[in-house]
Amino acid sequence: MRLGVAHEAGFAVAMTSSIAIVLFGGELPGFAWLVCLAPLVSLLLATRDIRPPALSATLVGVASIALGIVTVARGGIESSVLAGGELLMGLLTARLLVRRTQAHDMQALSLSLLLVLTGSVLNVKITYLPVFVVYAVTAVWALSTRQLLAGAAAVVGDERDRAVVRARKDVVTPAFFGATGLISLAVLASAAAVFALFPRVGFGDIGAFLHKDSSLPGSVGLRGDPRLSGGSAVVARLRDVPRDAFLRGLYLRGAVYDVINLDGFSQTARLDEERAGGKIELVEPPLRTRYEVTVMPVVGDTLLSLGDITALRVVGGGNANPNVPMSYNGRSVLDESKAVAPLRSAMRYIVVGGVAAPGLVPRGAKRPVHGLSAAARARYLKLPDAFDDRLRDLVQTALGDAAASGAAVDKAARLRAFFLDNFRYSQEPPRFATSPLRTFLFDERQGHCEFFASAYAMMLRGAGVPARVVGGFQGGAWDDGVVVFAERNAHAWVEWWDDDAGWVVDDATPLATAPREELSGLSTALERVRRFWDDTILDYSLQDQVDGISQAKSALSGLKRTARVLVALMALLLIVPGVVAALLLRRRRRARGAAAVHPLARAIVDAVARATRAPVPAEQTVREAVEGARVDAALAAALRAALSLYEAERFGGAHPPAVVVKRAAKALRTAARNR
């Protein structure tokens, strides 16, 4: 392969893969994928020797800076990494458009490296690894070929000579492929070694960035699209969940919303009962079950759980920085489970507590520990300001004769039946004539879970039952004892208060009763690859390192005495010959010296030294050594012959064949030995 072609090919693939790392993980708009064409365009321009004006690169660079500023302005400081990725992609495109010198190639490669590092923050998915490997291999390829071209360009004169160098076919051979392949392998292996072995000790969390905006926001409007609809990104994995609980339907509880109005639902900014700072008081439900949750950093500081929590222990992650340990901070006044700080990386924790589902009340707890305070009851009964007679009549109609009975459970059953019988699930947003909720209830009678949850909670409050909306994830997919919740499982449902049973989970959304998903075939394989990535790469921590060392130690201590001796002997067999070989090599190198001496000159000096039994002084020339040596006639003749050959080559411009030189040196050595 021609050297120039090899360089351009490796360069283009490295650039494309560095851009792809960000595009795969950065949640950028679809048109951003057009940037992948930049390396191809650059390749075409380079091969056809077309040089666009520098102004085009300047315009692209300025546009990328503007795009980065807009991204930060819209998304806040949390979007700064994404903005950095956009900016770097723009600058790389600009550099690729106007690429004229070897220095420009190096700048593009540096930008691509920065892009890959930005992708390390943005791309937490399994797609990172294959693209990263492609980048590492092709970057080594591009760098090494560039190094050859740059070195040659520094020595050869004009452009025509450089074209000759680029066209050379004897450099990029199978051996070159092998060498660069080995280099790539070495780089990747040592990068993996650094990753695995370097202790995760840090100096504090000064400026971490969130990966994405929280998917459990403080307020939800009903005028937009439903949150996270259709997303396949994994949000959480649950292990050790009973199979029958999964089949009954799991509700992974997250945010709780106490304010309901006709445009959506939200949380009260600050509650009177909330104490600033300090630990939040725990409600203590009876012990139920134990399960493990691995959650991605998309939920802010809210910890997902299947119901009430008796105990929660953070196993690892969250910050992945041992200086900033993550822990459980208890439940807020709104009954949300909270961590001490927002999650910045995947976190694993073990929960002991209940598994709540619609229609179930916590067993063994006829009355909640603390009941419902008057302030809380008032908050959860508060109706929207625009709750008028028409809405009140609708509640009464839906309740029927249950309005008079007064039992919360009866009222809830009637209202749930009202929604399940008369409404249809749809992700198409309603055409808003007045307010979204009013349109949903009186005109469209179809909507997604947020409509059902907010309308159901509002009507429960209208019927005198304290109620609230809960945001989280529902259903999930079962795979070999692990329940996987993805973005598409995002859901909103209702909790209402029963004086005997406490908060009861309820759901009036028709689709919530759909059959549970079981992973199979390709989905299982994909999920297992993703799980391997999340468990072994993203969730890798100091604890894993300590565990690994402990396992190695225990494995070693578990060996019998003879096995231990064998291991020690093997280590010695490897180390001792290595040390001996290194010492021998060093001695040999010292004996030979570092000077580059003509082989004939060395042979002459050696012969003289052997004949006179004294070393030749370093300041003597070869001729002086020969003329000053007192040797017999045969050796003197051989010395003169070798000297004349040496001087003819060294100073006379003659170039005798190597074999002649070797033969003369050998003859000299023989003469010196036979003396």
Partner 1 sequence: MTSAAAPARPPSRWRRFGPRRRLRSTPAGRVVIGLTFAVGFAAFNTGNNLLFFGWGLLLSSIVVSGILSEATLRSVTLSPRGAGEARARAGGALTFVVKNHRRLPAFAVDLRAPFEPATTAAPVDPARAFELRVPPGSERTVELRFAPKKRGVLRVATARASTAFPFGFFEKDKLVPLEPPLDVVVLPARVDVAAEARDLLARMGEAPARRAGPGDELFSLRPFRAGDDPKKIAWRRAARTGRLVVRETEAARSNDVILELCAAGAAAAAVDHAVDVAGSLAEDLLAAGHAVGLCAPGIASAPAPGPRQRGALLTQLALLDARAEKPPLPARRAVVVAVVAAGASPPPHAALVVRAERLA
Residue 6 found at the interface with partner 1 (CB under 8 A): no
Residue 327 found at the interface with partner 1 (CB under 8 A): no
Give me Rg for the CA atoms of the chain: 38
- 146 token code pair: 């560039």
What residues from 473 to 492 belong to the interface with partner 1 (CB under 8 A)? none
Note the helical H segments in 312-441. 374-381, 389-399, 402-405, 408-422, 436-439
What residues from 339 to 358 belong to the interface with partner 1 (CB under 8 A)? 344-345
Q: Which of 24, 128, 380, 497 is the binder for partner 1 (CB under 8 A)?
A: 128
CA distance 401 to 410: 10
Closest to partner 1 by CB, 207 or 521: 207
Residue 209 found at the interface with partner 1 (CB under 8 A): yes
CB 457 within 8 A of CB 389: no
Q: Which of 272, 389, 421, 619 is the binder for partner 1 (CB under 8 A)?
A: 619
- Minimum CB separation of residue 30 from partner 1 in Å reads 24
Closest to partner 1 by CB, 556 or 582: 582
Q: Which of 596, 613, 630, 633 is the binder for partner 1 (CB under 8 A)?
A: 596
Q: Strand pairing of 219-221 and 264-266?
A: antiparallel
Closest to partner 1 by CB, 431 or 655: 655
Q: Which of 146, 162, 248, 382 is the binder for partner 1 (CB under 8 A)?
A: 146
- Minimum CB separation of residue 146 from partner 1 in Å reads 7
- Minimum CB separation of residue 399 from partner 1 in Å reads 53
Residue 597 found at the interface with partner 1 (CB under 8 A): yes
Residue 228 found at the interface with partner 1 (CB under 8 A): no
- Minimum CB separation of residue 209 from partner 1 in Å reads 7
Q: To which residue do tokens 């008369």 refer?
A: 422
Query: Residue 77 is which amino acid?
Result: I
Q: Which of 41, 126, 183, 365 is the binder for partner 1 (CB under 8 A)?
A: 183
Q: Which stretch binds partner 1 (CB under 8 A): 37-45, 147-155, 489-497, 507-515?
A: 147-155
Residue 233 found at the interface with partner 1 (CB under 8 A): no
Nearest partner of 349 among 292, 296, 311, judged by Cα? 292
Q: Which stretch binds partner 1 (CB under 8 A): 123-131, 231-239, 305-313, 426-434?
A: 123-131
Helix (H) or strand (E) holding 289: strand 289-295
Residue 589 found at the interface with partner 1 (CB under 8 A): yes
Q: Would you give the DSSP letter of residue 82? A: H
Residue 116 found at the interface with partner 1 (CB under 8 A): yes
CB 387 within 8 A of CB 375: no
CA distance 260 to 314: 33
CA distance 376 to 1: 76
Residue 325 found at the interface with partner 1 (CB under 8 A): no
Under 8 Å CB-to-CB from 54, ≥6 apart: which residues?
A: 98
Nearest partner of 484 among 527, 521, 526, judged by Cα? 527
- Minimum CB separation of residue 71 from partner 1 in Å reads 19
Question: In a 3-state reduction of DSSP, which class is residue 145?
Answer: helix
What residues from 621 to 650 belong to the interface with partner 1 (CB under 8 A)? 621-622, 624, 649-650
Residue 513 found at the interface with partner 1 (CB under 8 A): no
Q: How many residues line the site for partner 1 (CB under 8 A)?
A: 87
Residue 152 found at the interface with partner 1 (CB under 8 A): yes
- Minimum CB separation of residue 395 from partner 1 in Å reads 50
CA distance 503 to 380: 11
Q: Would you give the DSSP letter of residue 287? A: P
Helices 3-25, 80-97: axis angle to 10 degrees equals 160
CA distance 135 to 143: 12
Q: To which residue do tokens 């969940």 refer?
A: 241
CA distance 107 to 147: 14
- Minimum CB separation of residue 197 from partner 1 in Å reads 9
Residue 537 found at the interface with partner 1 (CB under 8 A): yes
Q: Which of 12, 89, 124, 295 is the binder for partner 1 (CB under 8 A)?
A: 124
